[in-house]
Amino acid sequence: MSKTETELMLKGYGLTTAEFFYRMPDYLNVLNSFVWQDYDLAPDHPRLFRFIEYWQKEIEGPLHSVRFTHRKLIAPGEWRNVVGEFTLH
């Protein structure tokens, strides 16, 4: 069952962005970069580490380094349920 982005954010997920620096097997002197984004849980980052494991097993370009950041888009104090509405002329 897939969850919507809002459901994930309300459960504590935040947007994780990672930049992978890797070398091509044929050109080891050239560094390339790849940007990856997904909703993940800090501080363990299970989705990010699962992707890194996938990269190391399945992709021929060896990783040089990974730089990532995590942003919680909805914090507990930022979201509230509004019940009423009023109009102004």
% the chain with pLDDT above 90:
55
The sign of the torsion formed by the CA atoms of 52, 37, 13, 2 equals: negative
In a domain, 25, yes or no: yes
pLDDT of 45 higher than 60: yes
Q: Tell me, yes or no, whether 80 lies in a domain.
A: no
d(CA 10, CA 16): 15
- pLDDT of the residue at 1: 44
Our count of domains for the chain comes to 1
| 83 occurs within a structural domain | no
More confident residue, 3 or 72: 72
| Residue 88 belongs to some domain of the structure | no
Q: How far apart are CA 32 and CA 41, in angstroms?
A: 27
Give pTM, 2 decimals: 0.75
pLDDT band per the 50, 70, 90 thresholds, residue 65: very high
Taking alpha carbons only, the member of 35, 36, 28 closest to residue 60 is: 28
